[in-house]
Homo-oligomer: A and B are copies of this chain.
Amino acid sequence: MTVFASDNVTSACPEIMQAINNANKGHVDSYGHDQWSKNLDKKFSNLFEKDVKVFTAVTGTAANSLALSSITPSYGNIYCHKISHINVDECGAPEFFTGGAKLITLDGKNGKFSAEELNKNIRGSGVVHNTQPSTVSITQSCETGVVYQINEINEICKIAHKNGMKVHMDGARFSNAVVSLNKSPAEMTWKCGIDILTFGGTKNGCLDAEAIIFFNSEDVGNFHYLQKRSGQLLSKMRFLSCQLDAYITNDLWLKNAKHSNFMAKQLSDKLSRINSIELAYPTESNEIFIKVPKSIQDHLNKNGYSVTPDEMFDGSIRFVAAWNTTQEDVNLLISKIEEKL
């Protein structure tokens, strides 16, 4: 049992599975010429209140790296937080897809970097010896579960654009951030200046479905070839597109995220009331990081949880709530911890 280990240890939610089963009928044009795929631009344009161009990928790593490769030259800099997923958890995929771009890591509290931190690290524009400032990438909600506020995104985008850079948002947990901020998808992205978004579905109830969303059509360029060339253009594309279709239909994505954020908050509240436990970061979406005595860690691992203190997260351990986290899951975890107090 690995409940709470991550939001990717969960199954797919019923609506997504239904969509896949429904799509499994008859002969359908391949490589994105099916009805679901052809409809994605329109559906996402409605969702984002703007004409957007949508592409798909099966993993967040591929989606992020493809997105970055479309706005970053091989000699470009990508500014990102030092604990960002693209920097520490994708085995160098951004470097691979971009042909060798450089990730410039920034510091910042709670997994977020500030516009000032970004600003003071920009250097070398126009100098032939230096890799060139090209791209800024922020994760929303970020790796600690903390959420960038609208004004923070705004300021980062302003600095980026002022320096001729594009801004990418890694939205592996985009839904959780939207719910947390109670803002519209548009407000949290292009209205702030975001140029390109990785819109994640897999962690929030999909089987394997990520979208790359271009807010400016002029950035799209020949992206289609990059997607194909990286092995991300599925022949039976319907099975991916139908997931994204169902995911943004009837607010399924928000319903799932509301649930996981809510369960995370419950768990966080209960944990924070325990004396020997300290929240490493405020719980703003569906991830909880706590500092906890080793005895409790060991006890949890013995009881089927899977927790490891991580230096990158200040030595804390992580719990992630998901679309299907239950009240019983929360209670059981708390009771297991209480056994060791």
Identity of the chain B residue whose Cβ is nearest the Cβ of A73 in the assembled complex: B222
B100 with A96: CB separation less than 8 A: yes
Q: Which residues of A contact B (CB under 8 A)?
A: 1-3, 5-6, 8-12, 17, 20-21, 23-31, 57-63, 65-66, 73-76, 88-93, 95-103, 105, 123-124, 128-132, 202-203, 207-208, 222, 224-236, 239-240, 306, 311
Given contacts A96-B230, A101-B95, contact A202 B235 (CB under 8 A): yes
Complex partner residue of A239 from B88, B98, B203, B208, CB under 8 angstroms: B208
The interface residues of chain B lying within 8 Å CB-to-CB of A207 are 20, 24, 236, 239
Contact (Cβ within 8 A) B12 A75: no
CB pair A231–B57 under 8 Å, yes or no, is: yes
19 A-B pairs with CB atoms under 8 Å apart are A2-B28, A3-B27, A8-B30, A8-B236, A12-B24, A58-B58, A58-B232, A59-B232, A59-B235, A60-B235, A62-B231, A73-B222, A75-B91, A75-B228, A88-B130, A91-B130, A91-B228, A93-B229, A230-B231
Residues in B neighbouring A123, C-beta threshold 8 A: 311
If A91-B130, A96-B229, A202-B236 are given as contacts, then 6 extra A-B residue pairs at C-beta distance below 8 Å, sorted by A number, are A1-B27, A12-B236, A17-B21, A88-B129, A89-B130, A98-B100
Query: How many monomers of this protein are in the complex?
Result: 4
- When distances are taken between beta carbons in the complex, the residues of chain B under 8 Å from A61 are 228, 231, 233
The CA-CA distance from A319 to B29 in the complex, in Å, is 14
Cβ contacts under 8 Å, A208 to chain B: 58, 234-236, 239-240
- A103: chain B residues at CB < 8 Å are 102
Q: Which chain B residues lie closer than 8 Å to A102 at the CB level? A: 92, 95, 103
Residues from chain B with a CB closer than 8 A to the CB of A93 are: 228-231
A87 to chain B, nearest CB (A): 8
Q: Which residue of B lies closest to A322 (CB)?
A: B27
**A17, closest chain B residue (CB):** B24
Chain B proximity of A243: nearest CB distance (Å): 11
Q: Which residue of B is nearest A203, CB measured?
A: B235
Please indicate the chain B residues that have their CB under 8 angstroms from the CB of A62 in the complex: 230-232
A128 & B225 in contact (Cβ 8 Å cutoff): yes
- Whether B17 pairs with A90 at a CB distance below 8 angstroms is no
Check B92 against A101 for contact (C-beta < 8 Å): yes
Query: Could you tell me the distance in whole angstroms from the C-beta of A90 to the nearest C-beta in chain B?
Result: 7
- State the CA gap A66–B96 with chains docked (Å): 13
CA distance A25 to B1 in the complex (A): 12
Choose one: B31, B88, B90, B240; the contact of A228 (CB below 8 Å).
Answer: B90
